[in-house]
A and B are shown apart, each in its own frame.
Chain A
Amino acid sequence: MSEPRSTSYGEAIRLGFEYLMSTNPKVFAIGQGLWSPWYVGSSMTDLDRKFGRERVIDTPVSELACTAAAIGASLCGYRPIVVHPRMDFMLLAVDPIVNQAAKWSHMLGGRVAPALTVRAIVNRGGEQGAQHSQSLHAWFAHVPGLRVVMPSTARDARDLLIASVLCDDPVLYIDDRWLYERSEPLQDVRERDLRSEGCVRRRVGGDITLVGASYSAYLCEQAAEQLAPLGVDCDVIDARVINPLDEATILESCSRTRALCVVDGGWRAAGFASEVLAVVAEQLGPSALRAAPLRITLPSAPAPTSRALEQSYYPTAETVVRAVAKQLGVGVAA
């Protein structure tokens, strides 16, 4: 067998849709811009032609009604995927996600299962500004009953999308346009049970644990590569599913490395990074770490438009390298 060709993250999402729609007639996609590459990049190209516009539904500008409609369809046996080309605009649909999808199973004693997947795309940079940039995963990870999935690799982009849609629970699947060109060879699809998917160790090291999700996990991997020649071996944990969070993998790593840095594409206050730090502090106790834990997050400001400000707004691998080196007292070129 020849080595499978390299597939990009964006293309992998499309393959996930293709697999789902080919193998399950109850799967459909609904959202704004699904017939247009302008909204969803390479991630849904030609799906409407292949599966028909009754199953790949481009909609009126109605985030709220379309998301809630997907709940209604899921209660009647369908497996809808609602697509929000920008997470910022998805905020118009918070009621169906937080008050409805996440709570119906509990409120109705398990008699119903809103098995829908809400796909939110993080699409930032390029001077798009504060309402076209947000990563609000932490808001949603706060909510019991809602699984929050954040793939960082092409394989996860495809396979976790499939697992999300096959899961009986409501899932918020968040993908990041900054990862769309990240590529790797893909094996054939193997269906997974989302309930058993947790953190994955992307790199083994004993000096510090780096934790991230989605693009931040990619930053952790890049930073780890740059830190290795400086003598810092990083244990890189890709969180993948941030609610419910697989705490055990993170705790095991931290108890070994006794140092922690969390990289998060969201804000600091009450964020995902805060949650990881809290779990480690709570579970491992006050003397578990040999250096104060680090949070690398966005500055506490909305995303700026000007490129001069935008450049310093988003953390890079270098940001992570400098912070970790400083914390561990390792020399690094300024």
Chain B
Amino acid sequence: MTALRGSELGSLADPAELSGALDLRREPPLRLLRFLRDMLRIRIVEEVVAEWVERGLARAPCHLGIGQEAIAVGVSAQLEPRDRVFGGHRSHAHFLALGGDVYGLLAEVLGRHDGVSRGMGGSMHLVDRAVGFHGSVPLVGATIPIAVGAGLAAKMDGEGAVAVSYFGDGASEEGVLHESLNLAATFDVPVVFVCENNLYSSHLDIAQRQPSDRVARFGEAHRIPSVSVDGNDVLAVARAAQPLIARARAGEGAALIEAVTYRHRGHVGPNEDVDVGLRRSLEELAAWKRRDPIRRLVDAMLAASLITPAAFKAHERAQRIEIAALAQRAEAAPFPPQSALLDYVFAGAAR
């Protein structure tokens, strides 16, 4: 497997590289266990959603981030409930990594009134303000400037909150990213831009869309501290995010993190979509699966005797049982009443 032609990301974008166990250094074991638990939870929830799509239970478009869990988990480790996080069409992980309500997400995916958006949003429109997740919507790039505004509000509040904008490599081709980076840099806004560069926008790979595969260059052009990291290494993401978020919190302005990753499933839905685009292939997918962020952490923790295979299995099984129960409850939850159609057009219904 060779890296993309003209790749500036080099090994970060080459699945033949960086597939070994993670370098744990002196990470506290509890922190590692938390990372493992959170990534697994996201993976299992999305597998439930994938199955729902296959069964025809979930009909709203579901964009799965299976394979990309390390990014949201690594970034969220630096965040607090008072922070303001915004996502896009593929945001289950962003929501869950903050501790967003699992049942509320599952019910929402099924369009049920118990959902976090009262069944009005489905997979692509999520919110849970209590944990700092202020909204995800699918229009590409739309929430980038909204996050800048939330950061501006945080700056006006002067209490050290930060905003986070998750977006993909496709959104880096929207003009609004330029406006947003410029605004954030000019006004010293405490916002951290997190680009999940999974190398594909829908069916087209980045080599067919940009002269370079390195999205961090846009941040640099706006004098914003920018780093590119292995997005399948939760520790690398957390180590990159920590100083940049701390810096924003201290009033030193915006930052950009480009986390290079790969989605195991297609752009939308549960299939692997190796039949679209020029480069995405079974071989490429298999290579990236060897770079699975969860497996790499598990391997490192096993090697360091921080967990045993049996304990890991038991933990995974417990999470699956817990999430299956929530899923079952969601399947039985009611749909929104007809009155909901008009109730939420304007403010006034209970928030």
Cβ-defined contact, A108 with B127, below 8 A: yes
* A75 & B115 in contact (Cβ 8 Å cutoff): no
A76 cross-chain contacts in B, Cβ below 8 A: 84, 134, 149-150, 153-154, 157
Provided the pairs A72-B153, A75-B150 are in contact, do residues A113 and B345 lie with their beta carbons within 8 angstroms? no
- Is the Cβ of A100 less than 8 Å from the Cβ of B146? yes
Task: Identify B137's interface contact among A59, A64, A100, CB under 8 A.
Answer: A100
Residues of A within 8 A of B351 (CB): 110-113
**CA–CA, A76 and B351, complex, Å:** 14
Which of A62, A75, A168 has a CB less than 8 Å from the CB of B179?
Answer: A62
Query: Assuming A72-B145, A100-B137, A145-B345, is B156 touching A111 (CB within 8 A)?
Result: no
Considering the complex, give the chain A residue whose CB is closest to the CB of B186.
Answer: A60
Interface residues of B in 221-241 (CB under 8 A from A): none
Q: Is A106 interfacial (CB 8 A cutoff)? A: yes
* Interface residue stretch chosen among B49-57, B116-124, B203-211: B116-124
Residue from B129, B142, B183, B346 within 8 A of A112 (CB atoms): B129
Instruction: List chain B residues, Cβ under 8 A from A28.
Output: 156
* Cβ-based interface call for B152 (8 A): yes
A144 touching B345, Cβ below 8 Å: yes
- Inter-chain contacts of A145 with B (CB < 8 A): 345-346
| Shortest Cβ distance from residue B7 to the other chain A in the assembled complex, whole angstroms | 30
* A64/B176 in contact, CB under 8 A: yes
Other-chain residue from A57, A68, A77, A109 in contact with B120 (beta carbon distance below 8 A): A109
Among A65, A68, A75, A110, the residue within 8 A (CB) of B344 is: A110
> Which residue of chain B lies nearest to A54 when distances are taken between CB atoms in the complex?
B156
The answer to whether B125 has its CB under 8 Å from any CB of chain A is yes
Does the CB pair A68–B145 fall under 8 Å? yes
Determine the distance from Cα of A195 to Cα of B345 in the docked complex, in whole angstroms.
13
Encoded as 1 (CB less than 8 Å from any A CB) or 0, chain B from 175 to 186 comes to 110011011001
Question: CA of A69 to CA of B147 in the docked complex: distance in angstroms?
Answer: 7
Please tell me if the beta carbons of B137 and A68 are within 8 angstroms of each other in the complex. no
Q: CB-CB < 8 A to B182: which residues of A? A: 60, 62, 65
A residues 39-94 with Cβ under 8 Å of B? 54, 57, 59-60, 62, 64-78, 80
Could you tell me the distance between the alpha carbons of A68 and B135 in the complex, rounded to whole angstroms? 13
The answer, yes or no, to whether B350 is at the interface (CB within 8 Å) is yes
Residue with the greatest number of chain B CB neighbours at <10 A, chosen from A54, A77, A108: A108
Which chain A residues lie closer than 8 Å to B118 at the CB level? Answer: 109-111
Q: What residues of A have a CB within 8 angstroms of the CB of B135 in the complex?
A: 75, 104, 108, 112
A301 within 8 A of B: no
Name, among B146, B152, B349, B350, the residue most crowded by chain A CB atoms within 10 Å (CB to CB): B146
Closest Cβ of chain A: how far from B86's Cβ, in Å? 8
Q: In the bound complex, do residue B134 and residue A112 qualify as a contact, i.e. CB atoms below 8 Å apart?
A: yes
Q: Is B23 an interface residue (CB 8 A)?
A: no
Pairwise interchain contact A65-B148, C-beta atoms closer than 8 A = yes
Most buried by A among B86, B129, B183: B183
Q: Is A65 within 8 A of B145, CB to CB?
A: yes
Asked whether, in the complex, the Cβ of A108 is within 8 Å of the Cβ of B120, the reply is: yes
Q: How far is the CB of B84 from chain A (nearest CB, A)?
A: 6
Within 8 A of B (CB), among A232-246: none
A175 in the interface (beta carbon within 8 A): no
Q: Say if the beta carbon of B163 comes within 8 Å of chain A.
A: yes
CB distance from A142 to the nearest CB of B (A): 14
Q: For the complex, is A2 an interface residue (Cβ under 8 Å from B)? A: no
Q: Are A109 and B121 in contact (CB under 8 A)?
A: yes
Identity of the chain B residue whose Cβ is nearest the Cβ of A168 in the assembled complex: B347
Chain B 37-62, CB within 8 Å of chain A: the 1/0 string? 00000000000000000000000000
CB distance from A176 to the nearest CB of B (A): 26
Interface: B139 (CB within 8 A): yes
Query: In the assembly, what is the distance between CA of A106 and CA of B121, in Å?
Result: 8
Contacting pair B134 A105 (CB below 8 A): no
- Which residues of B from 131 to 179 have beta carbons under 8 Å from A? 134-135, 137, 139, 142, 144-154, 156-157, 163, 175-176, 179
Chain B residues lying within 8 Å of A103, measured Cβ to Cβ, are 137
| B80 adjacent to chain A (CB < 8 Å) | no
**Known: A105-B344, A110-B347, A145-B345. Contact between A70 and B116, CB under 8 A?**
no
Q: Which residues of A contact B180 (CB under 8 A)?
A: 65, 68
* Cα of A111 to Cα of B153 in the assembled complex, Å: 19
Q: Is the CB of A73 within 8 A of B152?
A: yes
* B positions within 8 Å CB-CB of A: 84, 86, 115-121, 125-127, 129, 134-135, 137, 139, 142, 144-154, 156-157, 163, 175-176, 179-180, 182-183, 186-187, 336, 340, 343-351
Q: Show the binding face of A for B, using Cβ within 8 Å.
A: 28, 54, 57, 59-60, 62, 64-78, 80, 95-96, 99-100, 103-113, 115, 144-145, 147, 168-169, 195
Known pairs A105-B344, A108-B125 / 16 extra A-B pairs, C-beta < 8 Å: A67-B145, A69-B148, A71-B149, A72-B150, A76-B153, A76-B154, A77-B153, A99-B137, A99-B139, A105-B345, A106-B344, A106-B345, A108-B117, A109-B336, A110-B118, A111-B117
List 20 A-B residue pairs with CB atoms under 8 Å apart, sorted by A's residue number. Answer: A62-B182, A68-B144, A68-B149, A68-B176, A72-B152, A75-B84, A75-B149, A75-B150, A107-B125, A109-B336, A109-B340, A110-B343, A110-B350, A111-B129, A112-B129, A112-B134, A112-B135, A144-B345, A168-B347, A169-B347
- Please name the 7 residue pairs, one residue from A and one from B, whose CB atoms are nearest each other, closest first: A72-B149, A109-B118, A69-B149, A68-B145, A65-B179, A168-B347, A76-B153
